[in-house]
Structure 1
Amino acid sequence: MPKSLKNSITLLLIMALLSSCGKKKNEIESKIITKVSVKTVDATSQPEIFSYSGTIEADNTVSLGFSVSGRVNNVAIQEGQHVSKGQLLASIETEEYQSAYTIANASLEQAADNFKRLDLLYTKGSLPQRDHITAKITLEQAKANSSIALKRLKDTKIYAPFTGIITAKFIERGASAAPGVPAFTIMKTDNVYAKASINENEIGTIKIGIPAQIKIASLDQNFNGKVTIINPSADAATRTFDVKVLLNNSKGVLLPGMISDIKIETGRMTQAITIPATAVIRDADDINYVFIASEKQAVRKRISLGNFKGNEVIVTKGLNNGDKVIINGQRNLKDGQEISF
């Protein structure tokens, strides 16, 4: 027999042997019977809670600047600094405005003295009404000029209008300031919002004042708030409605841009199936599934999850009343594998 033919026959025999071994191995695996525990599920009445992913937003952001011109002689804060309401942020030189106020105040005193004297004469009938009116107008003009000069003097300083964070600084000491040119941007943070985008199927159940719980994973903290703003107009691109939950942030730990998990309680009850969270398996594609027992076989079922309730989780899709969910022994199961109870 030729050597090449012998080699071919040998190779075929080896392949047949390997195939036979593989089949036997699969047969052995398929005959492995795993003992499991199951829970028969039925929908029960649960509070309706919607979950969303959202972000933290500032209550308000404004630009601040001088309403008078001059040279900056003091910048009291830096970008990123927390400031309190009424805190001095910056100032410009005051000599020009102080002089103007002093002159205006002197003119006011003179006009007041003159009017007092002429008013006495008018009362006695010794002064024409026209002169009395002129003196009164002069006094009112002097009062207005003094008020304007005082305001311009006060406008040489910028104060924080509310407690917040300086998010931008555009001036330096020695620079020239001018009206209408921003000097700072300040973000109001003593209260913040958690914003969620809600689809049209759910927006009708969300009402102003209903409670919400916000979880910030980066802080590992939960915060309670209430729905305070519902945008009645949907976003043109996403067709979702913006809803904002007001949160107290007196400690300043909530920063705009943080990712938040938002749970909003609608106040209604709904029928829902719950299972132990440990029964849920997540695969490499982030798909959640469970095994159910069907005629002594484990059947894999893909599910969608809702909110957690203690050690259990609500299943929003994938299970039916009466399904026997495997809650112990499911970790190493395969679809179709034999099981026992």
Structure 2
Amino acid sequence: MKAKTNYFSTLIALALLTVGCNNKEQEQEKTQVVKVNVQKIQKVSKVQELDYSATIEADNTAQISFAVPGVVNTVTVKEGQTVKNGQLLASLDATTYSNALQIANLSFEQTLDMYYRLDELYAKGSLPEKDYIDIRTKLAQSAANKRISAKQIKDTRLCAPMSGIITHRFIEKGSAAAPGIPAFSIIKTDMVYAKITVPESEVGIFKQGMVANLFIPTLNDSIKGKISIINPQADDRSKTFTIKIKIDNGNQKLLPGMLAYAKINPMKTEKVIVIPATAVVRDADDITYVYVVNKDEIAVRKRVTVGSITGMQEVIIKEGLSENDTIVTAGQSQLKDGSLVSF
């Protein structure tokens, strides 16, 4: 019985010793001081450069259709094909319209012959004024019918209204066409626009003619353009304004829908927060943050929004930091949120 009591006493002592050691280790870990380098943030003047995401848009987009109904008998182009202004795209069976023109021509000739006869009588005073006006009216109507029939035959041929690229073909040989029903969609791309949206706080900076530098990731190429359109009406939902940058695209490299990044320099300076790039940490969730040291010399993890990179391996911080904050610039790998630091 005495041995059993001694056994339990030993277990309790060991448990208390283990708890004491764990508490001691946690206390040491909690009070462990990490040596770091720090820097106090000061705002600096920098030439303002505004960055935006842009989308390439065609200079002009048109859906074209036949002006008369009929059955398609020829289609000469396909989607993606480049066409020139006036090039034939498709045509309709013109048999009905040819017959109508023939009838209109015969009617016009008959009416014209009658007009010549009655005109002589009218000149001699042998034809009443009413009959003379009537034949002149019939002659004008006959001439109009002739012109209409001639135009209808011309309208059976659908030609490109501008040089561009066929993006959609809605008809095939043998299909029925009708006025107002699109036959083709065509875009004009010798000149394109990069469209950006800007907040109300920035729209007043922009002026027509300002130069913009654009980078096209798909082409891995940079190109210049000029601001040509500033929409004065804000979007009802986002309250942003649309600005379009005009770009010469004679080589047809830029295609509608491509993404671009626009940099615009309004020739003004601004106060910004610039910190060493080494101070910024990116975690596995692609979140960027820095460690800010408070007055108790404790490192606090703070999320930031990073802007552009300067030429001195520094980055501009758009959001997350304030002037006079003290940040850790070296030694972050040993830090956790709440670590005690020394410098």
**Shorter-chain TM band:** 0.7 to 0.9
Unpaired runs of 5+ residues, structure 1, are none
- Map 1:1-341 onto structure 2 (within 5 A): 1=4, 10-25=14-29, 30-34=32-36, 36=37, 41-47=42-48, 49-101=49-101, 144-284=144-284, 286-291=286-291, 299=299, 302-310=303-311, 311-319=313-321, 327=329, 330=332, 332-334=334-336, 336=339, 338=341
The offset of 1:171, in angstroms, is 1.5
On the 8 A contact 1:212/1:226 being kept in 2, the answer is: yes
The 1:226–1:88 alpha-carbon spacing in structure 2 relative to 1, beyond 3 Å, is same
Separation in structure 1 between the aligned mates of residue 82 and residue 17 of structure 2, nearest angstrom? 80
Secondary structure of the 2:204 match is: helix
Q: Which amino acid aligns with 2:274?
A: T
Separation in structure 1 between the aligned mates of residue 143 and residue 295 of structure 2, nearest angstrom? 96
Separation in structure 2 between the aligned mates of residue 192 and residue 321 of structure 1, nearest angstrom? 42
Separation in structure 2 between the aligned mates of residue 65 and residue 150 of structure 1, nearest angstrom? 19
Question: TM-score scaled to structure 2, two decimals?
Answer: 0.73
On the 8 A contact 1:290/1:325 being kept in 2, the answer is: yes
Secondary structure of the 1:201 match is: helix
CA RMSD of aligned residues (A): 4.2
Separation in structure 2 between the aligned mates of residue 253 and residue 40 of structure 1, nearest angstrom? 44
Question: TM-score scaled to structure 1, two decimals?
Answer: 0.74
On the 8 A contact 2:38/2:326 being kept in 1, the answer is: no
Q: Which amino acid aligns with 1:304?
A: T
On the 8 A contact 2:288/2:305 being kept in 1, the answer is: yes
Aligned residues: 333
The offset of 1:147, in angstroms, is 4.1
Separation in structure 2 between the aligned mates of residue 83 and residue 276 of structure 1, nearest angstrom? 53
On the 8 A contact 2:47/2:267 being kept in 1, the answer is: no
Separation in structure 2 between the aligned mates of residue 334 and residue 4 of structure 1, nearest angstrom? 41
The 1:86–1:327 alpha-carbon spacing in structure 2 relative to 1, beyond 3 Å, is farther
The offset of 1:322, in angstroms, is 6.5
Separation in structure 2 between the aligned mates of residue 12 and residue 248 of structure 1, nearest angstrom? 81
The offset of 1:149, in angstroms, is 3.5
Separation in structure 2 between the aligned mates of residue 70 and residue 155 of structure 1, nearest angstrom? 10
The 1:210–1:114 alpha-carbon spacing in structure 2 relative to 1, beyond 3 Å, is farther
Identity between Structure 1 and Structure 2 (%): 40
The 1:163–1:329 alpha-carbon spacing in structure 2 relative to 1, beyond 3 Å, is farther
Q: Which amino acid aligns with 2:209?
A: G
Unpaired runs of 5+ residues, structure 2, are none
On the 8 A contact 1:32/1:338 being kept in 2, the answer is: yes
Q: Which amino acid aligns with 1:86?
A: G
The 1:216–1:277 alpha-carbon spacing in structure 2 relative to 1, beyond 3 Å, is farther
